């Protein structure tokens, strides 16, 4: 089954995208800031901004997701 049809998996993919984009932006800020316009690269820039500005909430969501995955399996 695809991750897009399962809400938990889609949420996990979104959290991973946000965390990865924020980490890459921390390492290479020039590359992401230069490509913030556009359909494909703009998504990564926006996810990096969300990850940077809401990092306590994103980390809390990652912990909750990890606990729920552990309990669910």
**Residue 50 counted as domain residue:** yes
**Residue 9 counted as domain residue:** no
Beta carbons of 35 and 45 less than 8 angstroms apart: yes
**Residue 8 counted as domain residue:** no
Query: In which domain, by residue range, is 39 found?
Result: 28-73
pLDDT tens sequence across 32-43 = 888 777 777 788
**Residue 36 counted as domain residue:** yes
Phi and psi based region of residue 72 (left: phi greater than 0; alpha: psi -120 to 50; beta: remaining): alpha
**Residue 13 counted as domain residue:** no
**Residue 10 counted as domain residue:** no
Query: Domain tally for the chain?
Result: 1
**Residue 3 counted as domain residue:** no
What CA–CA distances, in Å, run from 53 to 2, 19, 22, 67? 30, 12, 10, 24
pLDDT tens sequence across 5-32 = 788 888 888 899 999 999 998 998 888 8
Cβ within 8 Å of residue 68, ≥6 positions away: 8
């Amino acid at each position: 089954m695809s991750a897009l049809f399962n809400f938990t998996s889609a949420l996990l993919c979104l959290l991973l995208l946000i965390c990865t984009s924020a980490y890459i932006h921390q390492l290479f800020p020039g590359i992401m800031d230069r490509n913030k316009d556009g359909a494909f690269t703009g998504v990564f820039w926006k996810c990096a901004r969300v990850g940077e500005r809401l990092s306590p909430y994103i980390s809390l969501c990652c912990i909750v997701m990890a606990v729920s995955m552990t309990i669910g399996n």
